[in-house]
């Protein structure tokens, strides 16, 4: 006769959380930053077709780190939720807060139900407002908790280190090129503090741009526009580092 | 089970089930009662009185297509609305103009816009123009029951075909039958008169400005002979809605631009009431 092992609820949850965190950590991190005209999503992604960022609704964007099939599933669920809500009521009634709550409930139920394996994903839901004060960014870890973020947020395996790097350097009212430069710098720092180069073709960049005349504010930044922005940010960073070097020698 | 999942605030299973990229397909599985085509109408005597939209015209030109509509909605012999909008962007590269029962048509456009947007978001790519036109066909077909009771919707669909690099127009009948129209097309009660006007004015090398003028001329002629079509209302500053779709996407002429065209035409018509003359031979 076999007796099932007793596992305390604390232990069971800790095990599930560790399982999910390990899964998320296998992928690359990504960052979401506020800038003067909106919110920018930056991540390292060698694939051109499998996106980490996407449009959910007019002003709402989605970013995810972790297991692709799981977050893709959640993304489509979110698009369906938003489109159905907008169709039933009005386009203005679709909000990032509502969507974040639904995701939190979904992730939370999956995380704590014994029959399902926890999702190995961490999400960001962001909504661009008419002014920077109206911007909303929510981070949703694997367990269904929900964190209201400001300025900058990083998710994925290396998120804590990147977040603290961003927290120290992010300022309100940055231009897109500045924000992009900061994001790339943050992403290209390895755990041991060394810098590595991320070429433009491995970067996935998208924005929610409040200045877009269309009601749909989400836009991918690709090709020449991305290179141009990186060049602007790069030139500034060279100038800055030259200054720093100069001051160091004195 | 269903009620249970909804009450937890969690996304219902249907939302997370991999499946079609179509919003209508999702709706028909998840909440079929929300689809306009699934509505049951009680048996009624005679025709239901509801505002009707009237005339929509479209014309192609090298590099794009123009779609325009008058602003009148009628209910029997009464003008129901003087400033109704009957031409809408369907997405970035296409537009739809609607004639027929206004309430149903506007709802159909809303669902059509959503259908295209939903596909684009889920798939990460736009439908082909042909695909969009077929999708609209399906929607009209689902309205057939109501069309038989006098609540028909007959749209005109125009778009810029990115793959072929040219503007195209599709017309529909109440059964959802679609046909591609070459050069120009019209639908609605004033369409016969508008088509006559366009036939005389159209040529292959129209510029965008000429094409926008042409459609307003055609609408003027439609209003001239069809009481359900409204002409430019200078006193109330209500002018036709004119939209242009080119490689750079959908653009609706501002009120200023369309009033300028309408006023120029009006001024000429004061001298020549029947409009520009075509050569006899």
Catalytic choice (B54, B74, B101, B213): B54
Catalytic annotation present for B8: no
Whether B8 sits inside 8 A of A49 (CB atoms) is no
Among the listed residues A11, A25, A91, the one whose alpha carbon sits nearest the alpha carbon of residue A57: A91
B279 dihedral zone (left: phi>0; alpha: psi -120 to 50; beta) = beta
User: Considering the entire predicted model, what is its pTM?
Assistant: 0.90
DSSP chain B: -HHHHHHTTSPPHHHHS---S-HHHHHHHH-GGGSGGGPPPPP-SSPPP--EE--EEEEEETTEEEEEE---EEETTEEEESS---EEEEETTEEEEEEEEHHHHHHHHHHHHHHHHHHHHHHSSPPPHHHHHHHHHHHHHHTHHHHHTT--EEEEEEEEETTTTEEEEEEE-TT--EEEESSEEEESTTHHHHHHHHHHH--TT--HHHHHHHHHHHHHHHHHH-TTS---BTTTTB--EEEEEETTEEEEPPHHHHHHHHHHHHHHHHH-TT-PPPP--
- Ranges of residues in chain B with a pLDDT under 70 are 1-8
Nearest CA in chain A to B92: A214
Q: Does B31 touch chain A (CB under 8 A)?
A: yes
- Give the pLDDT score at A115: 84
- Give the pLDDT score at A237: 53
- Give the pLDDT score at A24: 92
Among the listed residues B43, B38, B14, the one whose alpha carbon sits nearest the alpha carbon of residue B26: B14
Shortest distance, CA B281 to any CA of chain A (angstroms):
48
Shortest distance, CA A35 to any CA of chain B (angstroms):
24
- Give residues 105 to 134 of B whose Cβ lies within 8 Å of A: 110-111, 114, 117-118, 121-122, 124
- Give the pLDDT score at A15: 93
- Give the pLDDT score at B1: 37
Helix axes A96-112, A9-25, angle to 10 degrees: 120
Q: How many CB pairs under 8 A join A and B?
A: 61
- Biggest CA-to-CA distance, chain B: 75
Residue B56 CB partners (closer than 8 Å, separation 6+): B67, B68, B69, B86, B87, B97, B98, B99, B155, B156, B186, B187, B188, B191
Nearest CA in chain A to B107: A87
Q: Does B18 touch chain A (CB under 8 A)?
A: yes
- CB B74, CB B100: distance < 8 Å: no
- Give the pLDDT score at A236: 58
**Chain B residues within 8 A of A109 when measuring between CB atoms:** 8, 10
Give the CA dihedral B144, B25, B94, B187, nearest 10 degrees: 0
One pLDDT digit (tens) per residue for chain A, 250 residues? 677 788 898 998 999 999 999 999 988 899 999 999 999 999 999 898 899 999 999 999 999 999 999 999 999 999 999 999 999 999 999 999 999 999 999 999 999 988 889 999 999 999 999 999 999 999 999 999 999 999 999 999 889 999 999 999 999 999 999 999 999 999 998 777 778 889 999 999 999 999 999 899 999 999 999 999 999 876 655 555 444 444 433 3
Shortest distance, CA B264 to any CA of chain A (angstroms):
30
Q: Position of tokens 């004639």? A: B99
- CB A162, CB A29: distance < 8 Å: yes
- Give the pLDDT score at A80: 96
- Give the pLDDT score at B37: 80
């Amino acid at each position: 006769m076999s007796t099932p092992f007793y596992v305390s609820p604390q232990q069971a949850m800790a095990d599930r959380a560790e399982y999910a965190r390990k899964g998320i950590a296998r992928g690359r991190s990504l960052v979401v930053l506020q800038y003067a005209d909106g919110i920018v999503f930056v991540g390292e992604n060698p694939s051109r077709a499998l996106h980490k960022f996407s449009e959910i609704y007019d002003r709402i964007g989605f970013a995810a780190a972790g297991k692709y099939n799981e977050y893709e599933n959640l993304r489509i669920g979110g698009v369906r939720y938003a489109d159905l809500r907008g169709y039933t009521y009005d386009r203005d009634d679709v909000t990032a807060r509502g969507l974040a709550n639904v995701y939190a409930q979904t992730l939370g139920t999956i995380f704590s139900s014994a029959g399902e394996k926890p999702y190995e994903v961490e999400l960001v839901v962001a909504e661009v407002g008419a002014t920077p004060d109206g911007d909303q960014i929510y981070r949703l870890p694997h367990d269904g908790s929900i964190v209201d973020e400001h300025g900058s947020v990083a998710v994925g395996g290396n998120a804590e280190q990147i977040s603290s790097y961003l927290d120290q350097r992010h300022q309100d009212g940055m231009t897109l090129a500045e924000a992009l430069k900061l994001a790339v710098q943050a992403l290209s720092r390895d755990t041991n503090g060394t810098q590595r180069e991320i070429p433009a073709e491995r970067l996935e960049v998208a924005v929610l741009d409040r200045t877009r005349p269309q009601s749909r504010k989400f836009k991918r930044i690709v090709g020449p526009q991305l290179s141009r922005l990186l060049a602007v940010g790069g030139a500034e960073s060279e100038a800055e580092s030259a200054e720093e070097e100069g001051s160091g020698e004195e | 089970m269903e009620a249970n999942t909804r009450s937890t605030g969690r996304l219902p299973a249907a939302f997370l089930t991999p499946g079609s990229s179509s919003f209508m397909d999702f709706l028909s599985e998840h909440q079929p009662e929300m689809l306009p085509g699934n509505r049951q109408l009680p048996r009624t005597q005679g025709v239901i009185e509801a505002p009707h939209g009237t005339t929509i015209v479209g014309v192609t030109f090298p590099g794009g297509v123009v779609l325009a509509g008058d602003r009148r909605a009628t209910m029997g012999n009464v003008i129901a609305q003087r400033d109704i909008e009957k031409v809408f962007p369907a997405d970035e590269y296409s537009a739809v103009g609607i004639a027929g029962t206004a309430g149903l048509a506007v709802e159909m456009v809303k669902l059509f816009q959503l259908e295209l947007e939903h596909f684009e978001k889920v798939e990460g790519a736009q439908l082909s123009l042909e695909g969009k036109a077929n999708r609209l066909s399906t929607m009209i077909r689902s309205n057939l029951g109501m069309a038989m009771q006098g609540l028909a919707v007959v749209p005109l669909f125009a778009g810029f075909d990115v793959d072929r690099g040219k503007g195209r127009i599709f017309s529909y009948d109440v059964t959802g039958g679609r046909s591609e129209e070459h050069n120009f097309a019209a639908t609605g009660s004033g369409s016969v008169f508008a088509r006559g006007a366009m036939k005389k004015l159209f040529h292959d090398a129209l510029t965008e400005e000429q094409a926008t003028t042409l459609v307003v001329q055609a609408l003027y002629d439609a209003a001239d002979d069809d009481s359900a079509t409204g002409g430019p209302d200078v006193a109330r500053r209500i002018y036709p809605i004119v939209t242009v779709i080119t490689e750079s996407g959908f653009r609706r002429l501002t009120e200023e631009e369309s009033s300028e065209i309408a006023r120029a035409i009006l001024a000429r018509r004061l001298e020549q009431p029947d409009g520009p003359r075509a050569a006899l031979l």
